[in-house]
Amino acid sequence: MNQDVQWMQAALELAKQAGEVGEVPVGAVVVKDGKIVGRGKNSPVSGNDPTAHAELLALRDAAQTLGNYRLENCTLYVSLEPCTMCSGAIVNSRIARLVYGASEPRTGAAGSVVDIFSNASLNHHTSVEGGILAEESRQLLQAFFKPKRVNQNPLREDALRPMDEWFEGIPNYPWPANYIANLPSLNGVRLHYLDEGSTPDNAKQITYLCLHGNPAWSYLYRKMIPIFTAHGHRVVAPDLIGFGKSDKFKKAQQHSFEFHRQVLLDFIERLDLQRVVLVVQDWGGILGLTLPMAMPHRFGGVLVMNTTLATGTQALSDGFLSWRAWCQANPDFDVAKLFARGNKHMSAEETQAYNSPFKDRGHRAALHAFPPMVPEYENSEGADISRQALQFWRERWQGQSMMAIGLQDPVLGQAVMNDLRQNIRNCPPPMLLPHAGHFVQEHGQTIAEAAVQHFKLSSL
């Protein structure tokens, strides 16, 4: 066997070892008088050392073995063409000969990008030979990088993804993002959700499942989440597809009642949520109140705020019809101004946060889709399942209930909520918030404090 091949195989074995522990698979050996005197494998990640390239580690090892920082009459074998840092060290150590495997077209300093070794001004000249077991080295690198280059969350052609920087610096929203895209109903679109306060034995916790409406997102629950978690409870708050940090369909007609309902059902199953208190408002209730009858064993409580069940058997409120007409006439309405109008206590930074998911006009399809999607007639999509849900709440609901009403809501206000309360079995008198409007969660601290006193783990 050619000796260069023999020593390069030793370098490749070290490269494999590096790859097995998550380092870029590069290995190197220093040979003198037919013996390996130094070994090195890439270790910058594990060593928190940007200089821990295989070549440098092999040079250091050889210097220790030989008792001399001058490595004269030595040959360095490395599986990948050295970078400028390593090439400089090779020259400075007086290595006589460099043999490398695969070329490195992005950072190689032995001829691919620059050629340190051909510089006649240097006082030492190392001879260079490349291409020894180059294919084996390339295959090792490709096998390492291939899974990393596969997009684990590819974006569907019919969807858009909000940019992370759109959400930077928004006030009072410190929680890390969680994403899921492999639910059957999602079919590859990516759903964002918050999951806070979970403990290793979370099956023994209350889980507050907080569902937002239109045109809000999980930011709506920022005043309630800290109170729930401070009392030892778990909070899960998804952004519906089309809202918040979740992917956005490009076309309004891609949204449907059944799609969004099924996503929520799949989501609850995947996270295996137990002892759930369902927290709903607006579309969070229109959709969310249809969920417990499909999985009653998971739900022990419900907190209902300014929402309805649209069964198609009762006319939609005048307030809602006015809202729907306004949305149609103003398809590019400013979400921040909408929140500011009904919530004078909010800061400008808070109201602008509601615009964050919709900074690009193409991301607004859900805002256009949701108002006309509310079931209006008996044969409207979602009306039949809503009628079944209403019967469930009236006749079979066994859990604890709580209702909070923002009295300034012109869309789903006290009259609508009183009708709904009559259909929720054993629902006590509501908590009335005289200064709160439709987005009652903007007064959510008071509601959350009452909720943690109302819902008891022993009763769920």
Residue pair 195/398 in contact (Cβ under 8 Å)? The answer is no
Residue pair 42/24 in contact (Cβ under 8 Å)? The answer is yes
Looking from the CA of 405 toward its CB, the CA atoms found within 13 Å total 20
Burial code (b: 16+ CB inside 10 Å, e: under 16) for 20-52 equals: eeebbbbbbbbbbeeebbbbbbbbeeeeeeeeb
Annotated active-site residue 384? The verdict is no
Catalytic residue among 247, 368, 409, 443: 409
- Ordered strands of the 299-305 beta sheet: 178-180, 191-196, 234-238, 207-211, 276-281, 299-305, 400-406, 431-433
Q: Would you state the structure tokens that stand for residue 223, as one six-digit string? A: 């005043």
Catalytic residue among 61, 195, 247, 282: 282
Q: Would you tell me how many other CB atoms lie within 10 Å of the CB of residue 6?
A: 12
Cα–Cα distance measured from residue 439 to residue 281, given in angstroms and rounded to the nearest whole number = 8
What are φ and ψ of residue 86, in 5° steps? -70, -35
Task: Provide the pairing of β-strand 97-102 with 127-129.
Answer: parallel
Task: Provide the pairing of β-strand 207-211 with 248-249.
Answer: unpaired
Residue pair 455/400 in contact (Cβ under 8 Å)? The answer is yes
Residue pair 83/115 in contact (Cβ under 8 Å)? The answer is no
CA angle 164, 352, 237 (to 5 degrees): 60
- Find out whether the peptide bond into 215 is cis, omega within 30 degrees of 0: yes
Annotated active-site residue 212? The verdict is no
Cα–Cα distance measured from residue 249 to residue 191, given in angstroms and rounded to the nearest whole number = 12
Annotated active-site residue 318? The verdict is no
Q: Which residues are catalytic?
A: 282, 409, 438
